[in-house]
Amino acid sequence: MTHMSMDCHQDNPIARLKPMTDGIVPISDAERLARMEKARRLMVQNGLDAVVIEAGSSMFYYTGVTWGLSERTFAMVLPARGEIVWVCAKFEEDRALELIRFGKDVRTWEEDESPYQLFADVFREKGISAGRIGFDERVRFFIWDGIRKVTPGAEYVSADPVTIGCRSIKSPAEIALMQRANDITVEAYKAAIAMLREGMTKADFASDADAAFRALGVVGGIGANFGEHSALPHGSSKPRTLREGDIILMDGGCSVEGYRSDISRTIVFGKPTQEQLDIWHLEVQAQMAAFKAAKPGVPHEDIDAAARKVITDAGYGPGYKVPGLPHRTGHGIGLDGHEWTYLVKGNKEPVQPGMCFTDEPMIVIPGEYGIRQEDDMYITGDGARWFSQPSLAMDRPFA
């Protein structure tokens, strides 16, 4: 099946790659302002007076600001009514002002002062000291606890109805960025697979993949696990070199303007056994069952059930038992590689147009190998659409 000669390795396919970043359109300020307005509407609907968001993907989603996490609080308050207020260390104010495009109210604190009192001041000024304050799920405990202690009259709740309500529904601009991330990832995969060689390590493969992404103009990565290590859904930390006849399970992606791709492929280095081919085809059937079930209004758990039924009907499982499918069928994807919402039993919420997911049921044969095919999809008014096309055959990982 997939078997590369040394002559092909010397003719390095990565050297032929060109950047694929021309024409990328970043998220506009107008779209970010619209996101904040939607957040305010959701706050009103859910009885929240403000939302606190720390540096991270939600802050980037609403404002475009990227800021590294440290022990020093850098956060924003998005009130249901009124403008954003920022809180940052005084000595970092100038850098913050370079990045901030929305909201002119920046509150600063010196190193010997508490940043949390600034939040209390904001809540008091806006008349919400006894209100309901939502916290983004990524706000770290010490920040939440510090704010709580100085604003004892407020009620503290999850901001999930606001942040998930916004972020889980992707706009056409977001879908276009994710499409580019997927297109780039496919090309990186093709180059990295062409570099496979007997005796290589997982680190060798990862290095080749990193180089491919760099040549394509982005930062990304693909991990690989060989042979029996592929039976662990996220691989093994043990060293292992590639040998003839090994299953190779690969998983990776990249980021374009913050938006992610996540693709997995399983191939054989050499000739597959009939059992491996049979399991591979069963895996593809399960993946396609989930794709066909992914329609607006369908509960998330039904999509997981559709993939799982294919596998259990073939005699594997049931449930999460192995041999079989040991994890959910897919996860939301966007600015985070894994984000709300999830294709898993118990999630009875209906799928909506604009939601984006991975479709990645897996079949694990413990101690021997695992096979996972993973492609990203987005929901439209009449069903799912692929970001990346599924494999046509085990030795043809990309259409």
For the domain that residue 327 is a member of, what is the CATH number? 3.90.230.10
Instruction: Give the Cα separation of 167 and 260 in Å (integer).
Output: 13
In a domain, 394, yes or no: no
In a domain, 27, yes or no: no
Band of residue 192 on the pLDDT scale cut at 50, 70, 90: very high
Contact (Cβ atoms closer than 8 angstroms) between residue 181 and residue 213: no
Mean pLDDT computed over 134-148:
97
Q: Is the pLDDT of residue 325 over 50?
A: yes
Q: How many CB atoms lie within 10 A of CB 293?
A: 22
Mean of per-residue pLDDT scores for the chain: 96
The answer on 381 and 333 residing in a single domain is yes
In a domain, 100, yes or no: yes
Of 124, 158, 192, which one is at a domain's C-terminal end?
158
* pLDDT at res. 5: 38
Instruction: Give the Cα separation of 214 and 12 in Å (integer).
Output: 14
Give the H/E segment covering residue 226. Answer: strand 220-226
In a domain, 30, yes or no: no
In a domain, 287, yes or no: yes
The answer on 229 and 326 residing in a single domain is yes
Q: Give pLDDT tens digits for 346-386.
A: 999 999 999 999 999 999 999 999 999 999 999 999 999 99
CA angle (317 as vertex; 312, 318 as ends), nearest 5:
75
Q: With the CA atoms of 383, 388, 393 and 398 taken in that order, what torsion angle do they form, in degrees rounded to the nearest 10?
A: 160
* pLDDT at res. 10: 53
pLDDT above 90 as % of the chain: 96
* pLDDT at res. 11: 79
Band of residue 166 on the pLDDT scale cut at 50, 70, 90: very high
Task: Supply the pTM of this predicted model.
Answer: 0.94
Q: Is the pLDDT of residue 317 over 50?
A: yes
Contact (Cβ atoms closer than 8 angstroms) between residue 301 and residue 348: yes
Q: What beta strand segments (E) does 55-170 contain?
A: 75-79, 85-89, 105-109, 132-135, 155-158
Q: Is the pLDDT of residue 9 over 70?
A: no
Q: Is the pLDDT of residue 3 over 60?
A: no
Contact (Cβ atoms closer than 8 angstroms) between residue 345 and residue 304: yes
Number of structural domains the chain divides into: 2
The answer on 305 and 200 residing in a single domain is yes
* pLDDT at res. 8: 42
Q: Is the pLDDT of residue 29 over 60?
A: yes
Contact (Cβ atoms closer than 8 angstroms) between residue 124 and residue 133: no
The answer on 352 and 230 residing in a single domain is yes
Q: Which residue do the tokens 């092909």 mark?
A: 8
In a domain, 305, yes or no: yes
The answer on 357 and 241 residing in a single domain is yes
Range of the domain at 193: 169-386
Residue 150 CA: distances (Å) to CA of 40, 118, 319:
24, 9, 47
Q: Is the pLDDT of residue 275 over 50?
A: yes
pLDDT above 70 as % of the chain: 97
Give the H/E segment covering residue 252. Answer: strand 246-256
